[in-house]
Amino acid sequence: MNTTQPMAQKSRTSAMIWGNLLALSTAICWGLNEPANKAIIPDWISASGVALGRIFGATILIWILSLFFKKEKIQRGDWKLLWASALMMLGFVYVFSLAFNTASPIDIALILTFQPILVVIINAIFKHEHVSVLEVVGMVVALGGAVIVILGGGNFDSGRLIGDFFAVVCAVTYAIYLVIIEGPSHRYGAISLMKWVFLFTSILALPLIFTVPADLPIFTHGKAMPWLLLGFIILFPTVYCYMVTPPAIRLVGSEVLAFYQYLVPVITTVVAIAVKMDSFHWYQPVSFLIIVAGVILVNYAKSKSEKKS
């Protein structure tokens, strides 16, 4: 009796289950990230304080984790890519925190859903990748959804618009980060890669220490909840998600992982409304459906062109 085939099938099933659980867990963490940030910015801690807490906290935790993993030698040509990735990481984390000074957590989550389209655009500009007409149509559709979020259904508010602008900058910097880090991510493990990226990000972030006020309420009021939320932001949406994303991609593929990311704004919306942090507006589900439709159209066009080649 040949037991090889059933064992292989069981192994694939186990890999799919674990991959889906990892992908779902990252979506939940990122979905909770926006309400957690909004709950402490700016009432308890400044945006720069949260950003630096994420960067320095993640750096310390990842370097401690790296002690239990085999060291990998970084090739000389990859060091400049890691520094460039760190610069984009700093831009993403810092501007992401700034957005919460005025923007709605739901709007931020919706705008970040537009990020896969930005990766395609950046690859087309800098890597000269071919873009089909159908992909362009998908980009325009998704862009239309993002514009609806920013315009807020005609509800113009200068503070909210600034926050939404910061969210757009977040999406752009993170998309550039993904494009830069793509090559090294195939050559090194997640721990080896992230420990250097976060270390370099910490070095670049050192001047921002002077932007953090000394008399923050989180230090002076002695409440536990702001500290717990900050700890959650550092541990889960930052360290955990960055660590498990590469193995999740290996187990189930980037398309399945991207599917779970569509849950992020849904989770953010449910939590933000449940705790009365934000209110529901008609343009939010409309823009979400438009952005997702555009992203799906681009992915479909891309997979179709790859099959032809």
Q: What percent of the chain has pLDDT over 90?
A: 45
What is the distance of C-alpha 185 from the center of its chain?
A: 16
Does residue 1 register a pLDDT over 80?
A: no
Rounded to an integer, what distance in angstroms lies between the CA atom of residue 225 and that of residue 239?
A: 20
Which residue matches tokens 């059933």?
Answer: 6
**Confidence at residue 38, expressed as pLDDT on a 0 to 100 scale:** 94
For every residue of 279-296, DSSP letters joined together read ---THHHHHHHHHHHHHH
More confident residue, 2 or 131: 131
Residue 117 and residue 251: Cα distance in Å, rounded? 23
Q: Which residue has the higher pLDDT, 13 or 264?
A: 264
Looking at residue 262, what DSSP letter applies?
A: T
User: Would the CA dihedral through 94, 207, 198, 75 be positive or negative?
Assistant: positive
pLDDT at 194: 93
Least confident of 27-41, 175-189, 195-209: 175-189
Angstrom CA distances, 207 to 85, 94, 158, 204, stand at 18, 12, 29, 7
pLDDT at residue 6 is higher than 80 = no
- Please answer whether residues 54 and 233 qualify as being in contact, where contact means their C-beta atoms are separated by less than 8 angstroms: yes
Contact call for residues 92 and 170 (beta carbons, < 8 A): yes
Please answer whether residues 21 and 260 qualify as being in contact, where contact means their C-beta atoms are separated by less than 8 angstroms. no
The number of helices, as runs of H, and strands, as runs of E, in the chain is 14, 0
Measured CA distances, 66 to 98, 194, 243, 269 (Å): 30, 9, 11, 35
Task: Quick: pLDDT tens for 228-239.
Answer: 999 999 999 999
